[in-house]
């Protein structure tokens, strides 16, 4: 079925592999690391290659229907997608580009692990995939990222030698996705594999040039073909000779590829996942182009930070705007690191991403965390602002929701003024907007009317909530 498979697996395992390939894998989730969670709604088992990854024991559990998921306590993703995150080894002050980021499973993990001085550029070249990426990043509560919709070759021209870590989950034939029905058997055709391999090399080459010397490049796929995996690493060594050193992680030796060191493979019949590939390389020399924003002398802009702590900061706001967005933002809450008002929207940027974007001057290439928009004649807060953590936004008004209230809210219902468990955290607050909170975690915006709280949860975020959560613990 897969050319060269006999060089990767013992012959006795091939029947088990082919059978497992057509089945759904065990469901898995990644816990949000910035929350101290000692209880989740179902029993779990640890994923051995990633701290914070857990398999869900009961196959009948629907993890996407829990209130814990609504407040972003965890992200649902296949266990194989956690392997490249382990290789990336995110540190708080890293400057990272996730080059093919949608739908955001890896990007959200990176954002959660980065500190306020860290930078995440989450790039996705396909317009139709941008919304889901931005929506998932909004759930992190962070403002240390910016999204970008650019072809990797064009992004490379602006960002050569700029990132110390790059994750490139390259488009591939998708052989691991045949079982769930997301790909068909054409994924195994040699012509399709070759096409995907050539396309991927263009993207990987751009990633190599965007990486600063000493930085780490992590490449991953959801396919088994050597041509799309180990052969791509060999191509990198040939295309950029003498500048790559494989990163060997002893704890992952169990999953070491038999073809090339520094490459790791997961298998559906062995590892309770769909399967996948990941490799990590350290760049120890220069690529063939060394232009880009390093020439702007980053040390000159390192301390170029607008003095706006505790206040708003306006840039290019229309003076004849019918509504004063800055005044309205101050009525919503307090802003420890401030905000930017630009035209008909407002954005928040943690210090690292703010300095990064200041280097470019022209911000059209990137979109940071949008917190408010002017919709017609009305100002509205975004879901990203609803999910914000307290380091950059503290609302003046919160409603404490019971399980029943939160369940009704997540299904799109408005809440009555006399609803049980609905109470303001601040009795002296003003304004009609309030953030809903369940178990001290933000869940979304409500707007007060004469007799109820109107639901402002975006349609894409609404869910059908499971009845009677079990509240079981971690493995």
C-alpha distances in Å from residue 303, one per residue of 156, 265, 338, 369, 469: 25, 43, 16, 21, 49
Catalytic-role residue among 100, 172, 222, 273: 222
Judge whether 34 and 15 are in contact, CB under 8 Å: no
Q: What value, to the nearest 5°, has the Cα angle with vertex 134 and ends 466 and 302?
A: 135
Is residue 100 annotated as part of the catalytic site, yes or no? Answer: no
DSSP state of 465: P
Q: Any bridge partners for residue 54, and if so which?
A: 29, 46
Which regions of 258-377 does DSSP assign to beta strands (E)? 263-266, 276-283, 313-315, 333-334, 340-342, 345-348, 366-375
Q: In which element (H, E) is residue 142 found?
A: none
Which of 190, 143, 204 has its CA nearest to residue 353?
A: 143
* Residue 8 CB burial class (10 angstroms; 0-12, 13-18, ≥19): buried
Helix (H) or strand (E) holding 436: strand 433-438
Q: Long-range pairs for 7-16 at CB < 8 Å and ≥24 separation?
A: 7/226, 7/258, 7/259, 8/224, 8/226, 8/257, 8/258, 8/259, 8/265, 9/267, 13/269, 13/270, 16/269
Cα gap 414→411, rounded to integer Å = 9
Whole-angstrom distance, CA of residue 120 vs CA of residue 264:
25
Residues marked active site are found at 222
């Amino acid at each position: 079925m897969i050319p060269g498979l006999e060089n990767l697996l013992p012959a006795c395992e091939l029947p088990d592999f082919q059978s497992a390939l057509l089945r759904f894998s065990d469901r898995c989730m990644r816990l949000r690391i910035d929350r101290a969670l000692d209880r989740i709604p179902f029993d779990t088992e640890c994923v051995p290659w990633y701290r914070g990854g857990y398999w869900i024991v009961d196959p009948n559990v629907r993890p996407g229907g829990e209130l814990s998921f609504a407040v972003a306590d965890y992200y649902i993703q296949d266990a194989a997608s956690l392997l490249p995150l382990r290789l990336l080894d995110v540190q708080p002050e890293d400057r990272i580009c996730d080059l093919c980021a949608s739908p955001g499973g890896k990007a959200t993990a990176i954002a959660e692990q980065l500190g306020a001085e860290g930078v995440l550029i989450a790039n996705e070249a396909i317009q139709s995939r941008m919304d889901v990426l931005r929506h998932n990043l909004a759930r992190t509560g962070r403002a240390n990222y910016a999204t970008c919709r650019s072809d990797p070759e064009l992004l490379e021209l602006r960002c050569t030698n700029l990132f110390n870590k790059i994750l490139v989950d390259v488009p591939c034939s998708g052989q691991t996705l045949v079982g769930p029905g997301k790909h068909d058997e054409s994924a195994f055709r040699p012509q399709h594999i070759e096409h995907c391999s050539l396309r991927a090399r263009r993207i990987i080459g751009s990633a190599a040039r965007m990486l600063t010397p000493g930085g780490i490049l992590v490449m991953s796929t959801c396919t088994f073909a050597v041509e799309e995996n180990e052969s791509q690493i060999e191509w990198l060594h040939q295309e950029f000779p003498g500048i790559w050193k494989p990163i060997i992680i002893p704890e992952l030796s169990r999953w070491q590829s038999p073809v090339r060191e520094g490459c790791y493979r997961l298998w559906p019949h062995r590892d309770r996942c769909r399967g996948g590939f990941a490799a990590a390389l350290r760049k120890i020399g220069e690529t063939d182009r060394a232009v880009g924003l390093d020439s702007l002398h980053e040390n000159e802009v390192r301390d170029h930070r607008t003095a706006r702590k505790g206040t708003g900061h306006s840039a290019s706001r229309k003076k004849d705007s019918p509504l004063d967005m800055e005044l309205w933002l101050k009525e919503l809450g307090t802003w420890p690191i401030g905000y930017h008002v630009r035209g008909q929207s407002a954005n928040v940027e943690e210090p690292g991403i703010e300095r990064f974007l200041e280097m470019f001057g022209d911000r059209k290439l990137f979109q940071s965390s949008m917190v408010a928009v002017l919709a017609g004649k009305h100002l509205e807060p975004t879901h990203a602002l609803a999910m914000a953590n307290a380091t950059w936004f503290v609302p003046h008004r919160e409603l404490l929701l019971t399980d029943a209230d939160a369940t009704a809210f997540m299904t799109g219902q408005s809440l009555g003024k006399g609803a049980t468990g609905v109470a303001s955290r601040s009795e002296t607050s003003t304004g009609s907007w309030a953030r809903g909170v369940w178990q001290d975690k933000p869940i979304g915006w409500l707007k007060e009317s004469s007799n109820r709280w109107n639901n402002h949860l975006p349609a894409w975020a609404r869910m059908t909530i499971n009845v009677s959560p079990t509240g079981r613990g971690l493995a």
